[in-house]
Amino acid sequence: MELTPAELERVIAEVVVRSLAEDIGFGDLTSEALFAAEDHCRAAILLKEEGVVCGLPVVRAAFRQLDEKIELEARAEEGERVSEVPRELVRLTGRTRALLGAERVALNLLGRLSGIATLTRMFVAAVEGTGVAILDTRKTTPGLRVLEKYAVHTGGGANHRFGLYDAVLVKDNHLRLAGGVERAVRRLRAAVSLPLEVEADTLEQVEQALWLGVERILLDNMSPSEVARAVELVAARAQLEVSGGVTLENVRAYAETGVNAISIGALTHSAHSLDVSMEVLAP
């Protein structure tokens, strides 16, 4: 997905504004005591760690929430892979209090999103040439799902479900409560018109889902050899997605089995935030 103007507006309202309020509260005691309201300065945001840049539109939004006249000059592209560090990403000029007030929120979001984009790019590179899509999951930071999925997209991955509202995925707890694959699928067929995806822990469940005409099967926590047997069994009669236990070390082995997609929760729940900083420049 792309961060459209409409989505950016919503992110500003729901994430940036809330984050600034959380950090500033009733006032930045230090900056307000040290600097007059009319004081101005220049600053640069630096990336100090190799990776993929992601979050520049959000950085812009954070600073301009406190001073709409702040000048921002991007010195890197969104989605750019940076290998030589430190690298200046943004040059800023504006009111001192505003620059210092938005600094931490802007850096937190930039580092977080760049880390997700970087990890995603690593997984995508690991399966290059196989035709397999790297997908994200719903294992996102509460309140940051749109931004984190945007970061996955920026890193070259594909967005799966945004929530429970936009796709039907029958997971293990659904199957236990509904009485198994067949009962769950038949009830869903009578209730919804969307394509169905069913989670399968065993080849027996794969066979059941296939017999019922399920369009997509999620192979959960299977080894590469088990996945290869599932691919042979399905013979392209349904889309196959792998999930669970996937790492950078084994993702290629899963991709080479012939599945269509691999979903990886670690893209968002375990990504390392990149090291970024803001440094005030000499007048």
pLDDT in tens, the chain (283 residues): 566 788 878 888 899 999 999 999 999 999 999 999 999 999 999 999 999 999 999 999 999 999 999 999 999 999 999 999 999 999 999 999 999 999 999 999 999 999 999 999 999 999 999 999 999 999 999 999 999 999 999 999 999 999 999 999 999 999 999 999 999 999 999 999 999 999 999 999 999 999 999 999 999 999 999 999 999 999 999 999 999 999 999 999 999 999 999 999 999 999 999 999 999 998 7
Annotated active-site residue in 171, 186, 187, 189:
171
Q: Tokens for 107, please give them.
A: 């850096």
Regarding whether 57 and 20 lie in a shared domain, the answer is yes
Report long-range pairs for 153-156 (Cβ below 8 Å, ≥24 apart): 153/1, 153/2, 154/52, 154/54, 154/78, 154/79, 154/113, 154/117, 154/120, 155/52, 155/54, 155/79, 155/116, 155/117, 155/118, 155/119, 155/120, 155/121, 155/124, 155/267, 156/120, 156/121, 156/124
Regarding whether 79 and 182 lie in a shared domain, the answer is no
Q: How many domains does the chain have?
A: 2
Q: Tokens for 241, please give them.
A: 């997605």
Regarding whether 195 and 115 lie in a shared domain, the answer is no
Regarding whether 211 and 78 lie in a shared domain, the answer is no
Q: In the annotation, is 149 catalytic?
A: no
Q: In the annotation, is 241 catalytic?
A: no
Q: CATH no. for residue 100? A: 3.90.1170.20
What is the residue whose two structure tokens read 């991007």? 74
Regarding whether 46 and 11 lie in a shared domain, the answer is yes
Handedness of CA 106, 108, 111, 112 (dihedral sign): negative
* Coil, helix or strand at residue 93: strand
Annotated active-site residue in 28, 103, 148, 199:
199
pTM of the predicted protein model: 0.96
Regarding whether 231 and 203 lie in a shared domain, the answer is yes
Regarding whether 12 and 112 lie in a shared domain, the answer is yes
**CA-CA-CA-CA dihedral for 233, 133, 107, 139, to nearest 10:** -20
Annotated active-site residue in 91, 104, 145, 252:
104
Regarding whether 135 and 218 lie in a shared domain, the answer is yes
Regarding whether 91 and 139 lie in a shared domain, the answer is no
Q: In the annotation, is 201 catalytic?
A: no
Regarding whether 42 and 68 lie in a shared domain, the answer is yes
List the domain range (segments joined by +) for residue 94. 5-124+271-281
Regarding whether 146 and 119 lie in a shared domain, the answer is no
Q: In the annotation, is 48 catalytic?
A: no
Regarding whether 220 and 255 lie in a shared domain, the answer is yes
Annotated active-site residue in 91, 139, 161, 229:
139
Q: CATH no. for residue 227? A: 3.20.20.70
Q: In the annotation, is 97 catalytic?
A: no
